[in-house]
Amino acid sequence: ASLAFSNDGTTLAIASSYMYEMDDTEHPEDGIFIRQVTDAETKPK
């Protein structure tokens, strides 16, 4: 798994994959998710 913000901080990319913690069992498909984020979601409270 990994995540990264765009240079301007408005886009978040998230990669999700099975890490074989429990050997080669049935697991969810790997995925990449990209979403727009707001200041309210990313700034400290």
Q: Which residues contact 36 (CB under 8 A, 6 or more apart)?
A: 10, 11, 12
From first to last of its 45 residues, what are the pLDDT tens digits of the chain? Answer: 899 999 999 999 999 987 776 677 777 788 999 999 999 988 887
Q: Which residue has the tokens 């886009």?
A: 11
- What pLDDT is recorded for position 21? 67
- What pLDDT is recorded for position 18? 78
For residue 16, the tally of other CB atoms under 10 A from its CB is 13
Closest by CA position to 33, among listed 18, 5, 17, 13: 13
Both ends of the chain: CA-CA distance in Å? 26
